[in-house]
Structures are given as structure tokens and as C-alpha cells.
Amino acid sequence: MKNKGVLFALAAYILWGFFPLYFKAIQQVSALQILAHRIAWGFVFTLAVVLVLRQWKEFRASIFNRRTFLIYAGASVVLGINWFTYVWAVITNHVVESSLGYFINPIVSVLLGVIFLRERLRTFQWVAIAMVTAGVVYLTITFGQLPWISLVLAVTFGFYGLLKKIAPLGALHGITLETAVLTIPSLAYLFIVNANGTGTFGHSTPLLDFLLVLSGPVTAIPLLLFATGARRIPLTTIGLLQYIAPTLQFLLGVLVFHEPFDQSRLIGFMIIWLALVLFSVENLLARRRTPSAAPIPAEISE
């Protein structure tokens, strides 16, 4: 059972890690159109899964709960911002900077827990946060601007994870509701761009149309794999596996897409990587002492 859980979670993180290859394949489409298609087809796919599994009654009952709907409406907004930023970053050759956002996300999530949930941090967790801050400041000074793509991705996904902590639905029903909230404005936008002649779907190659439709399962399948795996393996295992996705994205950015990564960037990244090593080792040791000590990593959302 545990081995299957590791395989499910590993598959999810590997798929997330190779996301840049998919978005590069459709980079001739604008980021906003990709986002709209991703939301609309994601809803179609997850709703189909709900119907195939005969869970429509349970799903319908949950969405008419006002508190549940508001939580997922809020989650859908920050998720939409996160998805748009990530897609824009990939198709404009900022894969390395986007990977940094998911490296520092665990630290941001812990900090949000302190601010909003009044969680208490241990000494070395504060040291890790200070080191990440130092790395971001160093990159800002070196390049004359904040690494805003990384920060937007980390903060929006941090807030998404915060909302998911109080969200009552499982992964399938949750992502179905989140995409449902955004589907109407997405379809309206797609209708407008098709009406004014700037839409891509139906006006390009059959392959590109197929790839846009594929954005639904591409979005949903890793989320469902992660949810299945996370229930079967320890939190410490998830905590270590979660760095696979940004590592693969980073390697794609440097080795495949040949994005610039000079010595100054290396120094900034190394400060942050050392902070993550400290953070992960400290969490692992704390988890062994007190099983409830380690935070629950949220699923990646690219």
C-alpha cells in the first residue's frame, strides 16, 4: 500500500515537473487563452470523472453549501492567478524563475500559517525563512528588480494551500468546483476572442486544437494522482518528494530551454536551496520526535 502511494505521488510530481514541455508546445497561444481553455476543459474532464464514478449526488449536495462555495470561490481566484502567472512565465522563457517560486513555496506556506493560523515556528524554521528572505533580497539587488514571478507563484499557491486547509471537499470534487466557478467567465472570454478573430481554437491546426483540449486532463490527472498517493504515505515522504517538480522544471529551464543562469543567479539559488535543506531536515527530525509537527504540503498547482 505504501509503495503504491509513493508511485502515485511520484508520478504526480514528475508530471508537474515536465509541465513546461506541454506549455512550450502551445506557446503560440496567448497565456490568457491557454488559461481559459485549461479551466474550461479541466471542468469538463473532472465533471466527466464525477459522473463516471457516480458521485454527482454527493458533489451537487456539497456545492449548495454556502460556506463551501465561498471557500472554493476564493481558492479558484488565487488558483487562476497562479495558473496564469505560471503559463505566462513558461511561454515567455522564465521557467527557471517559475521553478524558484515552487522551491520557496513551502517556506511561504509555513509563514502564512504563522500569520493567519497563529502557528508557532521552531528556531531553525525561522532561520530557514531568514535565509530564503536573504536569497530573494540578494537576487533583487543583483538584478535590480524583485523576482516577482517566483513571489507571485509562491504567495498565490501559499494562499491556495491555506484555503485548502479549511476546505471540506476531496481533491476531485474540489478541483471540479474550483474550475466550475471560473468556467463561465472563461467561456465568455473565449467567445469574445473568437468573435473578434483573435481566438486560436478552431482557427489553427487540428494538433493545436487537440493540445488545448488536452489541457483538461493534463491539469486534473496529476492532482488526482497526488490525492490518491498522499493518503497512503507519510507526510515526511511527501515533504521530500515535493521538490522533484521544481527541480525538473529548473533543469528543463537551464539545460533544455537554455535560459540564462549565471554565477549571480547560482549564488541566490544556493542560499535558498540551503534554506530548504535546513527546513526539510529540521522538519524530518521534528516529525520523528512529535508526529504532528510537520506541516502538510499542498499539491502543486501549475
Domain ranges of the chain: 2-289
Question: Does the pLDDT of residue 293 top 60, yes or no?
Answer: no
How far is residue 141's CA from residue 131's CA, in Å, rounded to a whole number? 15
How far is residue 214's CA from residue 145's CA, in Å, rounded to a whole number? 36
pLDDT band at 63 (very low <50, low <70, confident <90, very high): confident
Alpha helices by DSSP H, listed for the chain, are: 2-17, 19-25, 31-52, 56-63, 66-91, 95-117, 123-143, 148-165, 171-195, 206-230, 235-241, 244-251, 263-289
How far is residue 193's CA from residue 164's CA, in Å, rounded to a whole number? 33
How far is residue 178's CA from residue 190's CA, in Å, rounded to a whole number? 18
Question: Does the pLDDT of residue 246 top 80, yes or no?
Answer: yes
Return the closest-CA partner of residue 274 out of 104, 99, 141.
104
Tens of pLDDT, residue by residue over 5-14, are 889 889 999 9
The CA distances from residue 264 to 142, 184, 205, 271, in Å, are 7, 44, 42, 11
Q: Using CB atoms within 10 Å of the CB of residue 141, give its burial: 0 to 12 exposed, 13 to 18 middle, 19+ buried.
A: exposed
Question: Does the pLDDT of residue 240 top 80, yes or no?
Answer: no
Choice between 106 and 94, residue whose per-residue pLDDT is larger: 94
pLDDT band at 64 (very low <50, low <70, confident <90, very high): confident
Return the closest-CA partner of residue 287 out of 235, 233, 240.
235
Mean pLDDT taken over the chain: 90
Grid cell digits, residue 167: 476546505
Return the closest-CA partner of residue 260 out of 93, 147, 133, 106.
93
Q: What does the pLDDT average to over 225-232?
A: 79
Question: Does the pLDDT of residue 290 top 70, yes or no?
Answer: no
List of residues 6+ apart from 268 with CB closer than 8 A: 135, 136, 138, 139, 142
Return the closest-CA partner of residue 153 out of 213, 94, 207, 194.
94
How far is residue 178's CA from residue 265's CA, in Å, rounded to a whole number? 36
Question: Does the pLDDT of residue 191 top 60, yes or no?
Answer: yes
Question: Does the pLDDT of residue 171 top 90, yes or no?
Answer: no
Tens of pLDDT, residue by residue over 104-148, are 998 998 899 889 988 888 899 899 999 999 999 999 998 888 999
Helix axes 263-289, 95-117, angle to 10 degrees: 40
Return the closest-CA partner of residue 82 out of 146, 151, 23.
151
pLDDT at 212: 96
pLDDT at 294: 45
In b/e form, how buried is each residue of 53-75, taking b as 16+ CB within 10 angstroms?
A: eebeeebeebeeeeebeebbebb
Choice between 264 and 235, residue whose per-residue pLDDT is larger: 264
Poorest-pLDDT segment among 13-22, 32-41, 201-210, 219-228: 219-228
Q: What does the pLDDT average to over 243-271?
A: 95
Is the Cα torsion angle 207, 209, 211, 213 positive or negative in sign?
negative
**Structure pTM?**
0.90
Q: What does the pLDDT average to over 25-44?
A: 96
Q: What does the pLDDT average to over 174-194?
A: 95
